[in-house]
Structure 1
Amino acid sequence: MAADTSAPPARSLPLRSRPWILTYHSVSDPTDDPYGITVSADRLDEQLTWLHRRGLTGTGIAELLRARAAGQRGLVGLTFDDGYADFVDEALPVLLAHGCTATVFVLPGRPGGSNTWDPLGPRRPLLTEEGIRTVAAAGMEVGSHGMLHQDLTTLSDDELRRETHGSREALHRILRQEPSGFCYPYGTADRRVADSVRAAGYTYGCALVPGPLAGPLALPRTHVSHADRGARLRAKEVRHRLRYRSAGPGAAG
């Protein structure tokens, strides 16, 4: 059964809330990785074990926002950007073994393609449309990463609309349900981009460091690499709390 991917309407979310959300990409052999965005399945297992020992359970973002709106704590958001095909065979079994869910941000404009936007490689295959359906059927939330993985702040209004509105329509065709979440490629957004995401019907948007933007359409996240073990994860958790301490208590819970 597919996960319930509906999130509370943006206006009902606590705008000052800053939940702790972790950002993953590919789960595979991290040896050849000039960008530091790949973790092995064993390291993912170790990281989720560390979260569990701290009383945290990983979950998708729509579920995280619903839980926080209801006052529930003890959750941390898990996101996987780009929709790499290795999610099904490498990440999914680890997540299920830990009782976790996640949000996978996919590129419906590149089904079965590869990460050609990364000039240094290596080339990694992306989920096909059938793979996207497999992810949803396993109980994971599927969100949009745009159509083609472009810096949205550089696009014309028409191009931006294709990336935001068009990707939502494409995912509705693939999954027979509309996604709640959008993830800004390269983690960057501005007011025009956020407004387009809102107009497309998304209820939340994930960035990395959203700068002056605030609210559910500019959720900050923490990048996770293969090098991150207990001490480094703890340091990143503390940094998140300090950076967003004005958001109120319990930002990571």
Structure 2
Amino acid sequence: MYHAIVDGEMEGADSHYSVPPATFARQLQLIRSHGRRICSVHQLLYEGLPASGEPWPVCLTFDDGHLTNAAAAEAIAREEGRAEFFVNPSMVGKPGFLDWPALREMAAMGMAIQSHGMNHRYLDQLSPAEVRAEL
């Protein structure tokens, strides 16, 4: 699971889930060098599991819709892979985050675009009505 592909440090919890572009490129190469394909969660669930003895694919997910996710999607597409991107609709188009045209372009590359909640609120801290609104 990633949040951003960025040089330098990110503030807050995102730094835990962020790597520099060179590191991400090496990770993609490592996946391929071990005979694994990169797939979305949807592909894994609906296209079937690998045959016995075949290498399992690797699912890559990205949370929050950071602007750097567009470059990550391009790198994954170059490897003929797919990934899952979970975005917060309330953040789309804001500084540092993907906009709707970029998300459409990523979807056209075969990336899966999913919701990560409207505002990235912690669902276990919300009332049932707030959970419905968030989802």
Task: Specify the TM-score bucket, using the shorter chain as the normaliser.
Answer: 0.7 to 0.9
Q: Note if 1:42 corresponds to 2:19.
A: no
Q: Does 1:26 align with 2:4?
A: yes
Structure 1 length-normalised TM? 0.48
1:101 is paired with a residue whose SS is coil
Between the aligned partners of 1:39 and 1:61, the Cα distance in structure 2 is 21
Whether the aligned pair in 2 keeps the contact of 1:67 and 1:73 (CA below 8 Å) is no
- CA root-mean-square deviation: 1.8
Cα distance in 2 between the residues matched to 1:147 and 1:46: 33
> Paired residue for 2:102?
131
Alpha-carbon distance in 2 for matches of 1:101, 1:87 = 13
Higher relative contact order (CA 8 A, sep 6+): 1
Matched residue type, 1:86? T
Q: Does 1:87 align with 2:69?
A: yes
Q: In the TM superposition, what are the counterparts of 1:1-253 in structure 2 within 5 Å?
A: 23-29=1-7, 31-34=8-11, 35-68=15-48, 74-88=56-70, 90-113=71-94, 125-164=96-135
Aligned residues: 130
Matches of 1:140 and 1:50, distance apart in 2: 20
Q: Which amino acid aligns with 2:120?
A: H
Moved over 4 A (4+): 69-73
1:76 to partner: Cα distance:
1.1
Q: Runs of 5+ in structure 1 lacking a partner? A: 1-22, 115-124, 165-253
Q: Name structure 2 gaps, 5 residues minimum.
A: none
